[in-house]
Amino acid sequence: MKNGLFHSACILTILLTCSASAAQRPNIVLVMADDMGWGQTGYYNHPVLKTPHLDAMAQSGLRLDRFYAGAPVCSPTRASVLTGRSNMRTGVDSHGYALRRQEKTIVNALKNAGYATGHFGKWHLNGMRGPGVPMFSHDTHHPGVFGFGQWLSVTNFFDRNPIMSRQGKFVEFKGDSSEIIVDQALDFIGAQAANQKPSFTVIWYGTPHSPWMAADADKKVFANLDTASQDHYGELVAMDRSIGTLRKGLRDLKIADNTLVWFCSDNGGLPKITPETVGGLRGFKGSLYEGGLRVPAIIEWPAGIDKPRKTEFPACTMDIFPTIAQVVGLPRSVMLQPQDGTSLSELFQRETGTRKQPIPFSCFGNTALLDNHYKLLQVGKRRDRGTRNFELYHLGEDPRETTNLMQQRPEIAKRMQAAMQAWNRSMEESVAGKDYPEGKVNAGEPQPRFWMTVKAYEPYFEAWKERPEYRSRLKPKRKVK
């Protein structure tokens, strides 16, 4: 009898806790840098770059020291954030591919749960390539199509004094792009807070993607570096400052305690920047080695992470959707299956041991599978152009991936090869559209194309041709004599 009463009391406590959580659902802000490498933070002791605001965020939240972008380039990772699935499942093979409209997104899930939804900054999921331009309201894949009620966005990377699109209306701004979109996002968040409505806000920077255009004041501390590196690091100074603006803004609105802010980068760092960008890891953007995938990441949520700490638990951008779904109390049905991510919500309070679900990566015809400390890669020439070789690394012993263990640890290699083959079979089913109710990919998904070839943009060429971000793309081609 006592056991029965205890059991009933436990159930009642759980139900009351869930009800309270539903009544106090957190605001959510996803922040993502563009091409920021794993080593480019002050808290990782970068030799020249100071990031006091990211450092402060890390000191008051959960610092994820083994966090991975879903892919080594931008559009695929963005697809993984919105869906919880590997980019290949969603139709976003590489940069500039469009996200399939049949995918279930975190945006629509939260919108249907009563959240106001807003996107600010880089989009790059509408199949458009080239420097970022504002999107038309008739674009078939703009942020609103995937659930964003408000959006101030551009197709791709963007820099100082950008031209952006507010729900299809072109708007020109002056100043640093990171600071502009944070200011605009805070206006949106503040308006929802005034109406006591929870908000889901996505802030996707254009920094530090090339071309680099830092303010003189932000790059002067890097005067001894080459010109490109000066501007690259100067952009990161401004981006970090905007993080400080965001955190202060949330405090000023008196909603910081119950706002979950998740920061990361969309892929690994860039080559040819001095000092280097990946903290000594192997590879850079575009590579499935650690330098192309591992990125800085922090989750700050005072109401849900009351003991700041750092963790080595392997996590990835595919985990964002399932984590937030569990935090908010959404049913599993809001996520299209199969999912490649897992909820990290238990990790907010304690270490949870090893990761049960390996993390898959697939891009440019190469594949990797991360199972805690072991990482198996099948890499080499791009798809259909030659044989790819298997490589196995133990990242705990060899974080720089210098020693291939395929021969030394055959049992591990065999187990992981079988797991990779099984995942590849599942992924191919997704590529064919078998995950969707229709059992196929619907017609009408655009192929990647450059906006300079899109007729609707032609009327803007003359006005844009002297803008630094478009100049090289709109120069008249010299006639061959």
Count Cα neighbours of 212 within 13 Å in the Cβ-side half-sphere.
24
The verdict on whether 119 is a catalytic residue reads: no
The count of other CB atoms within 10 Å of the CB of residue 257 is 12
Residues 6+ apart with CB under 8 A from 355: 313, 314, 315, 342, 371, 372
Handedness of CA 319, 44, 347, 115 (dihedral sign): negative
Tokens of 66: 């083994």
Q: Choosing from 46, 95, 124, 141, which is the catalytic residue?
A: 124
Question: CA–CA distance from 467 to each of 235, 323, 356, 476 (Å)?
Answer: 18, 41, 49, 14
Q: Choosing from 74, 264, 316, 363, which is the catalytic residue?
A: 74
Burial status of residue 406 (CB atoms within 10 A of its CB: 0-12, 13-18, 19 or more): middle
Query: Do the beta carbons of residue 182 and residue 198 sit within 8 Å?
Result: no
The verdict on whether 95 is a catalytic residue reads: no
Mark out the alpha helices in 316-440 (DSSP H runs).
320-328, 410-431
| Residuewise pLDDT in 10s, the chain (481 residues) | 434 433 433 433 333 333 334 448 999 999 999 999 999 999 999 999 999 999 999 999 999 999 999 999 999 999 999 999 999 999 999 999 999 999 999 999 999 999 999 999 999 999 999 999 999 999 999 999 999 999 999 999 999 999 999 999 999 999 999 999 999 999 999 999 999 999 999 999 999 999 999 999 999 999 999 999 999 999 999 999 999 999 999 999 999 999 999 999 999 999 999 999 999 999 999 999 999 999 999 999 999 999 999 999 999 999 999 999 999 999 999 999 999 999 999 999 999 999 999 999 999 999 999 999 999 999 985 544 556 799 999 999 999 999 999 999 999 999 999 999 999 999 999 999 999 999 999 999 999 999 999 999 999 999 999 999 999 999 876 544 4
Handedness of CA 375, 381, 385, 387 (dihedral sign): negative
Helix count and strand count (H, E) for the chain: 12, 19
Q: Phi first, then psi: what are they for 141, rounded to 5°?
A: -135, 30
The helix/strand/coil state of 24 is: coil
The count of other CB atoms within 10 Å of the CB of residue 244 is 16
